[in-house]
Amino acid sequence: MSRHVLEADEAYRIGPGEPAESYLNIQRIVAVAKKTGAEGVHPGYGFLAENPEFARACDEAVITAMSSLPPGPVALEGLYTALEHEAMHQETLLYMWHRLPLEDKRRPVDEVRRANLTGSAERPGSAPGLPRQEWVEIPGGRATLGVNRDELVFGWDNEFPRHVADVGAFAIDRFNVTNAQFMEFVEAGGYRDRRWWREED
């Protein structure tokens, strides 16, 4: 018996030694995960790590389990938690992309966003292909961030406690700030301009 099985708190047999009947058997692995109430499944290195059928089977198992819950906040919180978890993975991947050497990066060949891009002619001094500046007006009102611990079955630590504040009307750019726009801000002395900063910042 392998060492990781001996040291595990719990171990379950999923099949014989033949990989096709155990480590590569998607249905058996998912069945054990359901039976034990596992919160996650690590596909290992190789084996099922890059098999989209395995990922799809896990997704379907989660969807089936959630659809069996009675309508109410518990089911919704489970869905929101799953979506937020996926977003966290996407954010981590974005950080990894940012750390790639510049020479390894390539401009996307997909031109879907071309309609939302403008050349330098509309923004003199800017690099060509910058997103068109488009402001969205946000009305003033009361904003609520987070929740109190007795109001939610599950939540991340940074979501507690609830914070409520009255926020005045403001405008925000529809697109994220690009590296070129940030460079313009730095070169224009934005960090030295006291108009943009408060003492507590």
Residue ranges covered by each domain of the chain: 11-96, 118-196
The single-letter code of the amino acid at 58 is: C
Contact 136, 172 (CB under 8 A): yes
Mean pLDDT of 166-192: 89
Measured distance CA(61)–CA(132) in Å, rounded: 42
Q: Identify the bridge partners of residue 130 per DSSP, sorted by sequence position.
A: 118
pLDDT tens digits, one per residue of 72-111: 776 677 777 777 877 888 888 888 888 888 888 776 665 4
pLDDT tens digits, one per residue of 117-152: 544 444 444 455 566 778 999 999 999 999 898 887
Contact 137, 173 (CB under 8 A): no
Architecture of domain 11-96: 3-Layer(aba) Sandwich (3.40)
Q: With a cut of 60, say whether residue 153 has pLDDT above it.
A: yes
pLDDT tens digits, one per residue of 14-68: 888 888 888 888 999 999 988 888 877 877 766 787 788 988 898 888 778 777 7
Quote the mean pLDDT of the chain.
80
Contact 55, 29 (CB under 8 A): no
pTM of the predicted structure, to 2 decimals: 0.41
